[in-house]
Structure 1
Amino acid sequence: MIEPALASRLQFALTTIVHIIFPVMSMGLAPFLIYFTWKDIRTGKPVYEQLRRFWTKIFAVSFVVGTVTGIVLEFEFGTNFAAFSTAAGELFGGPLAVEGMMAFMLEATFLGVFVFGRERVSDALYMVSAVAVGLGTWLSAVWILIANSWMQTPRGYELVVEDGQTLISLVDPIAAYANPRFPWMFVHMQNAAVLSVALFMAGVAAYHLFRHYHWEYPVEHPEFWETTLKIAVVVLLLTAPFQVVHGDAYARHVAETQPQKFAAMEAVWETDSYVPEYIFAVPTDLDDLLNPRAKEIFGLGVPGGASWLVSGGDPTAEITGLNEFDTQPPPVAIVFWSFRIMVALGFWFVLLAFWAGYRWWRGQLLEDDLLHKSLMASSLLGILAVEVGWIVTEVGRQPWVIQGVMKTRDGVSPGLTGFEATLTLVGFGVVYLGLLSLYTYVVARIVRAGPPAVDESTADSAPNGASQQPSTPSGGNDD
């Protein structure tokens, strides 16, 4: 049997890694759907109605599966980390409760109108429903990230002893919930979600266009996929460079507030200056593959790069090594390699965005088969970047569940046995992987089916919620 603390950490990691896919899809799709709805109402062009209806299907599936998998995570705070919940419940429970009562209910209430009410409500109310669904999706992220960012940089609390137990008491809500980490996490996460969906859109569109233009395979509505690809490229050009620039500044914030995590990201064990930034690194001894402690590696490094990163421009800046800290370091290899994968993907997204933008400018966006293949291969890499980014964030904080306040092993439920923790770990592994497989199957079916035929709609594009006969081939607004 796996000991309770490790099994609980693995279970929470597994459920989070699977769950995060669905919020990323829904949060990333939200601004696209608001735009598609606005253009549909404003212009009446059939392609925007198709875009709205097609991507709403994937949004709705993501919302449903995300809700199911997300509820389990909150229960795990009681089943696996009851000591943490007892100690920090006064401060940690508030944001989670508000997320459920405000953000989730807002999203869930208007989602029905948005999915089923196009022909039943006015244009104005339908537009309100689109904005409300998107706002609810992003507000959910606000409260979840407030709770998580407080665990990274706790503020606004004091430790009190009640009945012999140390508890965390909230004394300054503004300091706690507007902690230094929150704006960094929120901007980085939301931009990553939009970037990930743009990559997915571009990959799906490239798949259909590649079949149509290069294999001469008959594809219905090629104009739909052309529009999808162009919108995705525009968003990539905005989000990919911003993610790299913001990530650079974010890393310096981490170095200031969590120096041990930054040292793990760079695998710096001894305090040193002019520390190289290894872009690619392989240990000379395979036994050290999971131990980047030793810099006796074969790699491609930028001299002084890590020092430059931590200081914002000084390649001779000193970085505090992991050996200087009193606590046990986090799993350095996991943090070290995850950080490099995330950074490498970030630069690849920038290259891909400018490549696509250049081809579009030259009028060759639909003809570059290598670009199409690259977009197809990269369609899920945004999700991967989010996953490894969260690994850096969460694993890099270890051994703390609340930075500098409570260690993870002290937050585990005291009555939890190794058998119980191992059993639920295996059970959740089977269930969550099953849900992920089912979600993948459903989304793949939607993608293969392509956009809906607008002329089969009876009312979706009717102005002001009025009924409309399906006699016009375009299915759009006649006025």
Structure 2
Amino acid sequence: MIDPVIASRLQFALTTIVHIIFPVMSMGLAPFLIYFTWRDVRGGAPVYEQLRRFWTKIFAISFVVGTVTGIVLEFEFGTNFAAFSTAAGELFGGPLAVEGMMAFMLEATFLGIFVFGRERVSDRLYLVSSVAVGLGTWLSAVWILIANSWMQTPRGYELATENGQPIVHLTDPIAAYLNPRFPYMFVHMQNAAVESVALFMAGVAAYYVYRHHIWEYPVGNIAFWETTLKIALVALLITAPLQVLQGDLYARHVYETQPQKFAAMEAVWDTEAYVPEYIFAIPTDLSQLTDPRAKELFGIGIPGGASWLASGGDPTAEIRGLNSFESSAPPVAIVFWSFRAMVGMGFWFILLAFWGGYRWLTGELFEDGLLHKALMASSLLGIVAVELGWVVTEVGRQPWVIQGVLKTSAGVSPGLTGTEALTTLLGFVGVYTMLLALYAYVVARIIRGGPPGEDDLDSVPDRRNHDETPAPEVAGDD
């Protein structure tokens, strides 16, 4: 029978991998929706109201499904990881509770106004609702990432033993909640969310632009998709380079605070200097797929790149190898290949952004069919890169659930059996597969339906003059 520790880890990994899709969509869409609303309220072109209404539908469905799947994760702390919850509940539970009481309630309260209140509230209040929804979405990330970043770099606590079990007591909330990992994780995650949504928007828009301009197939409201493509490219031009630059700082911080994880990211087993950074790597035999060792792989590497990354500029710097640590190494193959794929996609996104920007500058953005195909093929890669980033983050710190404090094996519910864990795992596989299929179906229907036509938009008086006293009606014979 399967080990309950392995089954619980697989179940939490599955539910997290599925759940993260929906916060990425909602967090990434939030800045776009605020911008669309601002342009709409200011009396901009009708296309901004179309953009707001169209992408609000996808935001709303992502919020609903994200809420449901997020609640499941919190239940799993009790059903599968009760020992962890007992040990770290005093510190870990606070941010999760505040996230629900502050961020979720703010977002949920104003979401109703934002989705249904355009005809019922003033322009000012409607714009405030868009900002409040976006702020609530990003505040949720603040508290969730505070909790997770503390697990990576725990601070502000003392460890005691109660009834033979280690218990973490909070001693310094500022040090704990503003731990050194938090700013790196927050910037990287939020920028990744906006980048992922920009790629998704660009891919969808490119499909319709390609059909209209390359296939010469009539597409209704092509101006909507052309505007969408341009806005997505602007966001991509900002977020793609920023992600790589900030990721460089993040990786250096990982080496300073979690050197074992960094060694797994680079597949360095023996302490050595002048370690290359492989942007692209191929194993020379099949065994290296499951046991990669950097110096034995064939690939395109930057000599001394990993040493330069770890040290902040010295290509000859020494990197501590996995064999020098007392605790067992994390699953190196998963961490190493996930990191390679994530970094590779990051550079591809930069290429896409500058490719699109150049074509826009030369006036050929809508005529470059190859660019359109590349954007379509890359529309979901931003989300894939986010998933891989979290694989590196979570798998890379194993065997610890709280770095240096509590091992994952000690955090699983003590009374949980392998049969129980396997049963729920299989159940979640079935339910989450159907949930993903349903979400994809609904989003695809929204995209196929396209934006509202100009005839379907709110009338100008209804949209713009909520704060004005209506003029008295004048009969034709007055």
8 Å Cα contact 2:266/2:294 also seen in 1: no
Structure 2 partner of 1:282: 282
Structure 1 residue 455, shift from structure 2 partner: 1.4
8 Å Cα contact 2:155/2:179 also seen in 1: yes
Structure 2 partner of 1:343: 343
8 Å Cα contact 1:121/1:464 also seen in 2: no
- The one-letter amino acid of 2:20's match is I
Match of 1:328, SS state, is: coil
8 Å Cα contact 1:263/1:322 also seen in 2: yes
Q: What is the RMSD computed on CA atoms of the aligned residues?
A: 1.4
Point out the more displaced range, 296-305 or 129-138: 296-305
8 Å Cα contact 1:30/1:133 also seen in 2: yes
Structure 1 partner of 2:159: 159
Structure 2 partner of 1:368: 368
Match of 1:364, SS state, is: coil
Counterpart mapping for 1:143-158 below 5 A: 143-158=143-158
8 Å Cα contact 1:342/1:388 also seen in 2: yes
Cα separation, 1, equivalents of 2:429 and 2:158: 37
- The one-letter amino acid of 1:86's match is T
Cα separation, 1, equivalents of 2:29 and 2:125: 20
Cα separation, 2, equivalents of 1:325 and 1:337: 21
For residues 368-422 of structure 1, give each alpha carbon's deviation from its aligned partner in whole angstroms, at most 9, with x where no partner exists.
0000010000100000100000000000010000000000000000000000000
Structure 1 residue 165, shift from structure 2 partner: 2.8
Cα separation, 1, equivalents of 2:100 and 2:70: 11
Structure 1 partner of 2:221: 221
Question: Is 1:169–2:196 an aligned residue pair?
Answer: no
Match of 1:375, SS state, is: helix
Match of 2:270, SS state, is: coil
Match of 1:295, SS state, is: helix
Structure 2 partner of 1:450: 450
- The one-letter amino acid of 2:311's match is S
Counterpart mapping for 1:296-335 below 5 A: 296-335=296-335
Structure 1 partner of 2:113: 113
- The one-letter amino acid of 1:424's match is T
Structure 2 partner of 1:436: 436
Structure 1 partner of 2:404: 404
- The one-letter amino acid of 1:56's match is T
Cα separation, 1, equivalents of 2:162 and 2:71: 30
Point out the more displaced range, 19-28 or 448-457: 448-457
Structure 2 partner of 1:46: 46
8 Å Cα contact 1:459/1:467 also seen in 2: no
For residues 409-453 of structure 1, give each alpha carbon's deviation from its aligned partner in whole angstroms, at most 9, with x where no partner exists.
000000000000001111011111111111001101111111011
For residues 289-344 of structure 1, give each alpha carbon's deviation from its aligned partner in whole angstroms, at most 9, with x where no partner exists.
21103632322222111111111211100000000000000000000000000100
Question: Is 1:395–2:395 an aligned residue pair?
Answer: yes
Match of 1:261, SS state, is: helix
Structure 1 residue 464, shift from structure 2 partner: 4.6
For residues 39-69 of structure 1, give each alpha carbon's deviation from its aligned partner in whole angstroms, at most 9, with x where no partner exists.
0011242100000000000000100010111
- The one-letter amino acid of 1:357's match is G
Point out the more displaced range, 211-220 or 32-41: 211-220
The answer for unaligned runs of 5 or more in structure 1 is 469-479
- The one-letter amino acid of 2:72's match is V
8 Å Cα contact 1:121/1:465 also seen in 2: no
The answer for unaligned runs of 5 or more in structure 2 is 469-478
Residue correspondences, number: 468
Match of 1:370, SS state, is: helix
216 and 33 in structure 1: CA distance in 2 versus 1, 3 angstrom threshold: same
Structure 1 residue 285, shift from structure 2 partner: 1.9
241 and 458 in structure 1: CA distance in 2 versus 1, 3 angstrom threshold: closer
- The one-letter amino acid of 2:10's match is L
Cα separation, 2, equivalents of 1:454 and 1:5: 56
Question: Is 1:138–2:173 an aligned residue pair?
Answer: no
Structure 1 residue 279, shift from structure 2 partner: 1.9
Percent sequence identity is: 78
Calculate the TM-score normalised by the size of structure 1.
0.96
Cα separation, 2, equivalents of 1:448 and 1:246: 36
Structure 1 residue 280, shift from structure 2 partner: 2.0
Cα separation, 2, equivalents of 1:84 and 1:217: 57
Structure 1 partner of 2:425: 425
Cα separation, 1, equivalents of 2:355 and 2:461: 36
Cα separation, 2, equivalents of 1:358 and 1:323: 47
8 Å Cα contact 1:209/1:366 also seen in 2: yes
For residues 206-253 of structure 1, give each alpha carbon's deviation from its aligned partner in whole angstroms, at most 9, with x where no partner exists.
000100111111111000001100001111110000000000111000
Cα separation, 2, equivalents of 1:460 and 1:55: 21
Cα separation, 1, equivalents of 2:452 and 2:188: 34
Point out the more displaced range, 300-309 or 327-336: 300-309
Structure 1 residue 166, shift from structure 2 partner: 2.0
Cα separation, 1, equivalents of 2:459 and 2:109: 22
